[in-house]
């Protein structure tokens, strides 16, 4: 199978997004967001057909293509990673997005929708219809197997943890992600609440719960770290300035190394108790501090969910 011919470096690169991840992770929501953004979307395309499909789309002058690939095409998954590398070597700008979620969230979503897991069908075929505890165990086993099958693809992708995300948040995050250039490392700052869990897509996690908390000031409690009174309060606390400088110093020291290692995406998660004041403020300050970096995104997991 030959790769696509090289693309002239004239600034008119193809824009291809590969959407993959766990069943129940939000691929349908992501694909709808990309379709609304002007992408031509194809669901569950086998890896064997990817090259021919992209060649055909080039002939039709289609510039923005989104392709969903998941465990339903398990037999062709081993072909996918080498093919992605060949396409990139041929000059195709292809970005792989992996939508993940913790097992508890996936179990809840399958229970709410009453949809069967793609790999559950293997259990039903082999053992017949299952009920009760056996059905629960079969679903857990299917999710575990799916993680194993997709592990290598996850490592090579930009991961979004959808465990705590509402559909509107996911649509927004996907649009932000595909809107940035793939030519350099994208730096993402994300605030979150520890009480709702640590984002599994974080490359670095900083715990700022040791800092003074505006929550205990009645006037500041209903506000957020994006509001001027809270920002002024936190800026006046020496410990907050020290924490901010130390996080910034760490990133300044190591960002060049991550960029040199061909990383395309680095997520820095900053957590406090409620994800409303301290973590939000530091995300805002650090995003502003590193705006010269080029590709910088901000996320506020708890605030964006409101």
What's residue 61's pLDDT? Answer: 64
Which parts are annotated binding residues?
21-28, 70-73
pLDDT in tens, 205-234: 999 999 999 999 999 999 999 999 999 999
Q: What is the mean pLDDT of the chain?
A: 85
Q: Which residues pair with 77 in a beta bridge?
A: none
Task: State the pTM of this model.
Answer: 0.72
In the chain, the N- to C-terminal Cα span, in Å, equals: 48
Q: Is the CB of residue 172 less than 8 Å from the CB of residue 179? A: no
What's residue 48's pLDDT? Answer: 85
233 vs 113: which has the higher pLDDT: 233
What's residue 13's pLDDT? Answer: 40
Which parts are annotated binding residues for ATP?
21-28
Which parts are annotated binding residues for GTP?
70-73
Residues 57-85 as b or e (16 or more Cβ within 10 Å = b): bbeeebebbbbbbbbebeeebebbbebbe
pLDDT in tens, 25-73: 999 999 999 988 888 899 988 888 888 888 888 776 656 899 998 887 7
């Amino acid at each position: 199978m030959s790769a696509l011919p090289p693309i002239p470096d004239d600034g008119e690169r193809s824009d291809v997004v590969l959407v993959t991840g766990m069943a129940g992770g939000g691929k349908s929501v992501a694909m709808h967001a990309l379709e609304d953004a002007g992408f031509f979307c194809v669901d569950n395309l086998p890896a064997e057909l990817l090259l021919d499909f992209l060649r055909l789309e080039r002939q039709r002058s289609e510039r923005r293509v989104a392709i969903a690939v998941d465990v339903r095409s398990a037999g062709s998954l081993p072909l996918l990673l080498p093919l992605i590398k060949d396409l990139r070597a041929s000059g195709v700008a292809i970005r792989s997005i992996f939508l993940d979620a913790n097992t508890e969230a996936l179990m809840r979503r399958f229970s709410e929708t009453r949809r069967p897991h793609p790999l559950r069908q293997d259990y039903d075929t082999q053992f017949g219809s299952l009920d009760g505890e056996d059905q629960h165990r079969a679903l857990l086993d299917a999710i575990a197997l799916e993680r194993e099958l997709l592990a290598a693809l996850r490592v090579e992708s930009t991961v979004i943890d959808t465990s705590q995300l509402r559909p509107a948040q996911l649509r927004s995050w996907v649009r932000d992600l595909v809107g940035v250039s793939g030519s350099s490392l994208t730096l993402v700052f994300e605030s979150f609440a520890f009480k709702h869990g640590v984002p599994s897509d974080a490359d670095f996690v900083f715990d700022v719960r040791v800092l003074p908390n505006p929550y205990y000031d009645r006037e500041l409690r209903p506000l957020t770290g994006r509001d001027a009174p809270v920002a002024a309060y936190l800026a006046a606390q020496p410990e907050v300035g020290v924490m901010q400088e130390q996080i910034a110093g760490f990133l300044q020291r190591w960002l060049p190394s991550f960029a040199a290692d061909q990383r395309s995406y680095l997520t820095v998660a900053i957590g406090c108790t409620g994800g409303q004041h301290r973590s939000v403020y530091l995300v805002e300050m650090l995003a502003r501090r590193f705006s010269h970096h080029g590709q910088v995104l901000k996320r506020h997991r708890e605030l964006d969910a409101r």
